[in-house]
Amino acid sequence: MNMTNYFDLKQVWVSELFGDIWLFLFFGLIMIWLVSAKTKVPFQVAMLLSIIWLGLCFSFSTAEFGIIWALAIMFAGFMFYYGVAKLLK
């Protein structure tokens, strides 16, 4: 624990409330998907919010999420390609 940083958001949200960065990631994704389904948000917007969430979690811990970040970027590229291909078709 760093005593000079009194209000460390990662320490408060991840370590104290959830216990692990992986639980924090999955709980956040599930909450995004549930709220998106309840409010009838389009699939593309829900996926973009999920990718933003992955980016936020990735900024907390870069060592643990290397492969997850690569998959998120690949999925965002696929969604962009699918949207452009659908418009051109």
Say how many Å lie between the first and final Cα of the chain, rounded.
55
Rounded CA-CA distance 17/9 in Å is 11
**Residue 68's pLDDT band (boundaries 50, 70, 90)?**
confident
* Domain residue ranges in the chain: 9-88
29 CB neighbour count, 10 Å cutoff? 15
Percent of the chain with pLDDT over 90: 13
Residue 20 has pLDDT above 80, yes or no: no
Average pLDDT, the chain: 79
